[in-house]
Amino acid sequence: MPRYSDEAQSHVSNDAKNRRKLLDQRRMEYRRAIENYAERRQLQQQLSDYPELAAANYLVAQAPTRRTAQPGR
């Protein structure tokens, strides 16, 4: 009978490891989201110090891309 308890204990151990792994993954995703938010906020604050840069970036992003026509041969 000790064999059955060993199998049951290893199954419980695997479940605990899987739960910890999932919690660690969620924690890391949450941490990355917080860091990403903080970086974007800092960048936004830095851009607000130079409003002309923000306006220029907006205009560049809104401008349609132009393609040069190839001369016909």
Q: Does 63 or 18 have the greater pLDDT score? A: 18
CA-to-CA separations, 54 to 2, 23, 41, 60, in angstroms, rounded: 70, 39, 14, 10
pTM for this one? 0.49
Residue ranges per domain, the chain? 2-56
The tens digit of pLDDT for each residue in 4-44 reads 556 666 777 899 999 999 999 999 999 999 999 999 999 88
| Contact present, 7 and 15 (Cβ < 8 Å) | no
Q: Which two tokens stand for residue 12?
A: 């419980």
